[in-house]
Structure 1
Amino acid sequence: MTPTYRERLAVPLRWWVQGTMLVASLWLAVVVAVPGVVAWVVAGLSVALMAALLLAYGNAVISVAGGELRAGR
């Protein structure tokens, strides 16, 4: 059955900016307490986790096919 309407939702750009600022704040808090390399590793892991969570959350698909509405999985 071919969908008559299909849309993939994404998180707003604002969430990416806020997440980036959160990671930057985390890096700043960690860099004053531990060596720089550790702070960069923590920041890198935080960026990867943030990106994975936002991409997973914004991966919802809405489709209408044959008079049936499907949202998400």
Structure 2
Amino acid sequence: MDDIPELPEATAASDLVNSAVMASLVRMLLAKGLLSGEDVREMYEGALHLIEEQQAGIEGDNPIFDMARDLLERHLR
């Protein structure tokens, strides 16, 4: 059973797949003219808002939320 990834590795791989598919979808929709640059910006703003709402519902400091917010904020600069 050495070929089965550990949970953190499997989670990271799953997150990477989701991110790559989402990025590809956004690029494709932009290229086809179905999304504008402003649409993409609104999508990142919406994602940031959702993360902030989720973070507000959790007690204590959680570095995962901070890292996620930082990554989204970089896209918005």
TM-score normalised over the length of structure 2: 0.37
TM-score normalised over the length of structure 1: 0.38
* Higher RCO structure (Cα 8 Å, ≥6 apart): 1
Q: Name which one, 1 or 2, has greater alpha-carbon Rg.
A: 1
User: 1 or 2, which has the higher strand percentage?
Assistant: 1
